[in-house]
Amino acid sequence: MKNRLLLFTGILLALSCSRPEREGVDFDAWGDYWFQGTAEISSFDLVQYRYGQPRQGEAVLIFVTEDFSRSEQVKLDDPASAGRDKISVIKMNQTRDFVTGIYPYHMMLSAFTPTKEASQGLKFTVSSQEWCGQAFAQVNLSGGDSYSGELFSYFEAEGDKSFSLNGMAEDDLWNLIRIHPEQVPTGSVQMWPSLIYQRLTHADFIAEEAFIRLRDISDSRRQLEVTYSSDRRELTIDFEKEFPHAILGWEETHTKENGEKEITKATRKGMKVIDYWNRNALEDEFLRNELNLNP
């Protein structure tokens, strides 16, 4: 993967000289919230469907801005010396923890989206650990709307393989909401489903037509809705209408071949803006209670 990314360096650096900024975003006001050296952490009660049954669990969303390397597509250790290789991104980390019978699942998704530059997401990763084994996938933007990816899995049918994709990542939508909801493309788009969905269904990495719309659902709430043409997956994300457009919850509907619907749902129960990476001492554990996180 690293060698492949190096091949994209020239393309990415060239694009950095000409790519326009996002329109309709007041980045001075935006930066007052997002460029202050803190992260936004939200906790959610989770009902995750797995093996045909709803499982009670917990989800966490962490949003934070970082200085990213265009060429390596990793967080920069020394942004000051990176020159034009530096690009500002907003990162979403999403974790899901739930139990199936005797054994637990631990899943994590990361999405990296340029903040000011009008570009699709640069990188998406997912990991899944449970007692049978673990799997990891990484997808990187290689230019335009083209992506290359690799999957490492303990399943024989999946094995270790490389793949390519075109279109938009569903996992990009969360960050676009946080930049500004009007950055979300509406109408018909070519999109590939969430990497978490791919892990849970073991579906092929394929983009398909999806329809996106934004609508007001109350005086203070808006909703993003995604419906795939295959009718197998629907996603809704509820968020605050006013800046900073915090995520309030989401719902995912998976329709099985027999028409049965499995609905996964997350509802926010706590939120805090904090430099969590500096709060790693024993005396900082009380902060978990403030976020209503499980022990």
- Could you tell me if residue 286 is inside a domain? no
Assess whether pLDDT exceeds 60 at residue 222: yes
**Per-residue model confidence (pLDDT) at position 166:** 96
Q: Work out how many domains the chain is built from and give that number.
A: 1
Assess whether pLDDT exceeds 50 at residue 45: yes
**Per-residue model confidence (pLDDT) at position 209:** 98
- Could you tell me if residue 284 is inside a domain? no
Calculate the CA 234 to chain-centre distance. 16
Residues composing the chain = 295
Sign of torsion over alpha carbons 131, 59, 231, 125: negative
Q: Reduced to 3 states, what is the DSSP secondary structure of residue 286?
A: helix
Residue 264 banded pLDDT, cuts 50, 70, 90: very high
Domain coverage including residue 66: 2-274
Tell me which DSSP letter residue 75 carries.
B
Residue 16 banded pLDDT, cuts 50, 70, 90: very low
**Per-residue model confidence (pLDDT) at position 18:** 59
- Could you tell me if residue 240 is inside a domain? yes
- Could you tell me if residue 288 is inside a domain? no
Residue 11 banded pLDDT, cuts 50, 70, 90: very low
- Could you tell me if residue 248 is inside a domain? yes
Assess whether pLDDT exceeds 90 at residue 60: yes
The three-state (H, E, C) secondary structure of 154-213, written as one string: CCCCCCEEEEEEECEEHHHHHHHHHHCHHHCCCEEEEEECCHHHHHHHCCCCCCEEEEEE
Give the DSSP H/E element, type plus range, for residue 6. Answer: helix 2-7
Query: 166-193: per-residue pLDDT in tens?
Result: 999 999 999 999 999 999 999 999 999 9
- Could you tell me if residue 117 is inside a domain? yes
- Could you tell me if residue 211 is inside a domain? yes
- The reported pTM is 0.92
- Could you tell me if residue 294 is inside a domain? no
Q: What secondary structure does DSSP assign to 241-267, as a single string?
A: SSTT--EEEEEEEEE-TTS-EEEEEEE
**Per-residue model confidence (pLDDT) at position 13:** 45
62 within 8 A of 291, measured Cβ to Cβ: no
- The rounded mean pLDDT for the chain is 93
